[in-house]
Amino acid sequence: QQQWQQQQEQQHDVNAQSREDMEITLNIFGRPYGRDPLFWKYELPLSLLVGAFMGLFCVCFFGIYRYLFFKVFFSGEKEGAHEDGRLSLGDVSAWSGRGWWVAVTCLGGFLSGCISLIPWAPGLGLSATMYRDMVTLHGHTKHAPFVIVSSLVSLSTGMSIGPEQALSAAGAAFSTLLSDRLHLPCRTHCAVVLAGIAAALGALFKSPFLGVVLLHEISITARPRDIRLDAAAKEMRRRREASCDEEDEDEDERRGGNEHKLHDYMEQTTIMGASSVMAFLIFRAIFNDLNKKHVQLRDVSDYEAWHLFAAIPIGILCGVLGTLNCLFIGTGKKIRMWIMKLLHVFDTPLWLASLILATFAGLIQGVVTVAFPLTLGSGIENMQELIRIGFNNTNANYIQNGEDMITARVL
């Protein structure tokens, strides 16, 4: 009997130690998200759905943008043109900046200013950005259509901007609309919106995982105190006050709420990865087929180990250029403030001041593109064309890309 009691006491100590170890593990990792039914019922399926939607949306967005861009700037029979009559951007010796480009960019700025004057549209420079969506993990359904149309106008008229803002606004708005329709808990709502933004970047980049890494970086700067979904859901409940009922809050609190929760970070990576890969596959499968291109890995035969060290001077140069870019942005803001003060002296109406500022921005863009034609547009088409057909007349080792040769020097 004494032996049996000793065994029972030892087993009790082991169980107590196991419970203590489990509590420590939960405090570090949190509850495994794969065991939560909400993950399988809502988060993962909706992430795939949002990814599929964004893949199709990107096909339409880029199709319209590229058609309008080339129709405006590179239509007609010209020297160095392709079989369809479009002038190749890679044939830099066959073209230079055209003076009428200034009129096109001014028109694009003017139209963007007109869009900002629509009663339901956000004011000039006041639309919700991707960074703000990452702070709140809530899309702006009313702003998104105007942001998309304004971006299409700007890109099509040769502005040097990227499509990230329009795509992320569409992904966040669609995810928010979907979450509101399904009356999802706050935490699940945040997860679905995060997947929508990730899907937009996953379709845009050459690798879908670049979008996941980028959003993790933005999360650290957007929500530096706590990047967990639990913290974002808590902040959303605070903003909504009584709009989230008790059942919703209990459902969110049941998901965890630990101070350190590594499973939360992995859950974000899972849903962002799922939506990004889905958007990437759909977009590339349709868009590349329309452009007669295929996604495949190519062997670089002349690669050498010392090429890795080339990243050091390239990184330094990019840092310098990034600093100059910040200085240019600061100078632009100073010019904007000076123009606003000047217009205020003449009692210019606010709507007219917005149009003047937007048109002036188009004027600056037009002057720059005429002086430096390779800065026309977002720069994506320029670099693709230069790599595709530029500087291929060399005997060095190369990558065979269809009928074209891409050398290490070009890359």
Q: Determine the length of the chain.
A: 411
Q: What is the pLDDT of residues 135-167, one digit of tens each?
A: 888 888 888 999 999 999 998 898 888 888 899
Report the pLDDT averaged over residues 275-281: 94
Indicate the helix (H) or strand (E) that contains 399: strand 398-401
**pTM to 2 decimal places:** 0.75
CB neighbours of residue 61 within 10 Å: 23
Say which amino acid occupies 109.
Answer: G
- CA dist 222 and 238 (Å) reads 18
- In this prediction, residue 79 carries a pLDDT of 43
CA distances from 145 to 54, 60, 121, 367 (A): 14, 14, 9, 29
State the residue for tokens 């979904």: 229
Q: What is the pLDDT of residues 57-78, one digit of tens each?
A: 999 998 898 888 877 776 653 4
Say which amino acid occupies 259.
Answer: E
Indicate the helix (H) or strand (E) that contains 25: helix 2-29
Lowest-confidence segment of 230-234, 255-259, 321-325, 382-386 by average pLDDT: 255-259
Lowest-confidence segment of 31-35, 138-142, 295-299, 327-331 by average pLDDT: 295-299
- In this prediction, residue 284 carries a pLDDT of 86
Sorted by sequence, the CB contacts under 8 Å of residue 322 that are 6+ apart come out as none
End-to-end, the C-alpha distance of the chain in Å comes to 80
Q: What is the pLDDT of residues 352-380, one digit of tens each?
A: 888 898 999 999 989 988 888 777 777 66
Lowest-confidence segment of 76-80, 105-109, 178-182, 311-315 by average pLDDT: 76-80
